[in-house]
Amino acid sequence: MKRTPLMMIGVALAALCGPLAAATAAADPLTPTGKWSANTDGSAPVPPMGWNSWNAFNSDVDEEKVLASAQALVDTKLRDIGYRYVNIDDGWWLKRRQPDGRLLIRTSHFPSAATGANTSFRPLTDRLHAMGLKAGIYSDIGRNSCGQIYTPDFKNQPEGSVAEREVGLYGHVDQDIRLFFAEWNFDFIKVDGCGARGLPADAPRVKSGLYRALTPLVDMQSLGGSDVAGIRGLYEQVHTALHTHAGDRPYVYSLCLWGAGDVRAWGKDVGNTSRTSDDIQPVWPRMLTNLDTVTHRALYAHPGSWNDPDMLFVGTGDFDAAHLTEARSHFSLWAMVNSPLIIGYDLRKLTPEVLAIFGNADIVALNQDPAGNQAVLAYDSGEVQTFVKTLADGSKGVALFNRTASPAKAVLTAEQLKMLPTADVRLKDLWTKKDQSFRKEVAVTLAPHETLIFRATGTRRLPGGLYLSEQTGRVNPAADGVVVPQPDPTIYQSITPWTGTRGPGEHPQYGGWGGAEADRAPYGKLMRVAGADFDTGIGVLANSRLEVRNQGYARFAAKVGINDSGQPRSGTTVFEVWGDGRLLAKSRPMEFGEAAVPLEAKVAGVRIVELVARGSGATVNTGTPQPATWADAALYK
């Protein structure tokens, strides 16, 4: 078989990754390991919070702007409720010095970096640390940055020869990470992916001689045209270098691959945050797009590895002080889905109204809750959505969201909160601070674009236990059964400002479709087995393995079967429960149309419970594994 340049890069990267990549390829993904495989390196037990320069200043960033923003975090006391990262995005570099390859800082914009021949950010990071803040830096996985490739009016372009303008990590991973973390003492790095995407040989800026070609590893519109192993290998190199050069001090590794390159499956295993979408913009439709890329992915986010629908645009455009309803919705929703709360606003212009949004400590607390459970969709439609998340103290965060520009009526039920409908459910409105209570259900009217957000308390439906769908932060799809990843067709297709209405329009991109879902079957289907509906559980595809962190529970129980969204005569599925690598319980082979059967196991003292669904066939029409349902799956004391 003839090897293309793309394949050759993948082979070379596999060699760079060495035995780890070979072992990963050889391992059976369904073999229980008794270990938690999602990333725990770095320091992101809760989603990171802070400020980033890009949305406010693009690449026109300088020391005065960074320090003014840092001082604003201190003076407004936003720092005290968690906003601690001050992140410098694209535009800080002057060039890569030759022949030693050391990165030089643009000292005309960062005067404190003028420390001699070897410029240094250490004076700036020391100053930020002295303010009780943390410092973040930006780079790209390729040779060149996103600004160099995609920003027509990019200010502060790197200067010099072709080699001097290659400021990205490619070929310099260990050198640059050592510089950023061991020498300059940064705490956070955002690693973009444009350099591994935008410089094919026929790119105008390559043909003009401005940049060298790098065969793209990522095609945003085609997973088949992407070198998944190659792009993952590059990001894993950064992971390894951070582990080496950040030492034992806390750091955050932010992946920015926009849901491409099948990062939906592996980003959680490599970094602390992983972008699920292309760039957000300060317009309502684009906010919907970015939100939609995470709403079906609650099981793919955990303490140490968070979904990232991009930075907050509160304060700008459709979310400015003249659009406070939209701004509150944007902020509330990002808090509920455990997005990093990174402000993208010129804090020198902060108004009391915008500050009141960023500074709502009750809503920040939902985002920073130590249980780390991303909100699950309790109700989903193109008009109204209801998000529910279980908090560490057993209470619930709940948000009712009107996506439309018209008023909408909605009902919140006790069952959606997994609380008893016969007992009082108490709601505290986190914007107005008003309290109310209801039994069974309560009707609300949502203004256009409004989100009502509450903390709810009541009598739990499941005494002495916790449904797995209530503890999404403890459930990791180590293998999710997806054979051919597909774009998510439910993501709102907004007009992008970089193309407008030129061309054929927007297409679904690789935000991730299928795999594991909480309280739904794969592909957003109803959880139903042999005609019996279930409103709680984990829906997966056969040939999947879930890792569940067990914290003091003694028994696991579920009802298992093939979901009715599957097909007849498409093989059987066997459900297995493992504890710390030992088989604890196993079902008989289940066929489509058979009623769900109970499956239980004693798990006292077990650290990692693993739920394996082994399929013997694929659905006739699609070739994908049968949908398998762990209905009513729960851990009991």
Go through the chain and tell me how many residues it has: 637
Distance CA 345, CA 54 (A): 9
The identity of residue 346, as a single letter, is: D
Backbone angles phi, psi at 5, to 5 degrees: -55, -35
* Number of helices and strands in the chain (H, E): 14, 31
The identity of residue 145, as a single letter, is: S
279 catalytic? Reply is yes
Q: Determine the straight-line distance between the first and last CA of the chain, rounded to whole angstroms.
A: 56
Coil, strand or helix: which one is 507? Answer: coil
Q: Indicate the DSSP class of residue 104.
A: E
Backbone angles phi, psi at 474, to 5 degrees: -105, 5
Which two three-digit tokens encode residue 172?
């310099």
State the catalytic residue, choosing from 176, 192, 346, 632.
192
State the catalytic residue, choosing from 187, 279, 480, 519.
279
The C-alpha angle 391, 442, 430, rounded to 5 degrees, equals 45
CA-nearest of 304, 303, 293 to 263 is 293
CA-nearest of 286, 301, 298 to 255 is 301
User: What DSSP line would sit under 137-166, residue for residue?
Assistant: EEEESSSS-HHHHH-TT-SS---SSTTTT-
Let me know if 301 is exposed, middle or buried by CB neighbors in 10 A (0-12, 13-18, 19+): buried
Pairing of strands 273-275, 306-308: parallel
Residue 361 makes CB contacts below 8 A (sequence gap 6+) with 81
Would the CA dihedral through 346, 347, 352, 353 be positive or negative?
positive
632 catalytic? Reply is no
Let me know if 501 is exposed, middle or buried by CB neighbors in 10 A (0-12, 13-18, 19+): exposed
Let me know if 529 is exposed, middle or buried by CB neighbors in 10 A (0-12, 13-18, 19+): buried
Which two three-digit tokens encode residue 92?
């800080």
CA-nearest of 299, 446, 450 to 374 is 299
**What angle separates helix 263-270 from helix 228-245, to the nearest 10 degrees?**
10
Q: Are 347 and 68 in contact (CB under 8 A)?
A: yes
Quick one: three-class SS letters along 162-177? CCCCCCCCCCCHHHHH
Catalytic residues: 192, 279
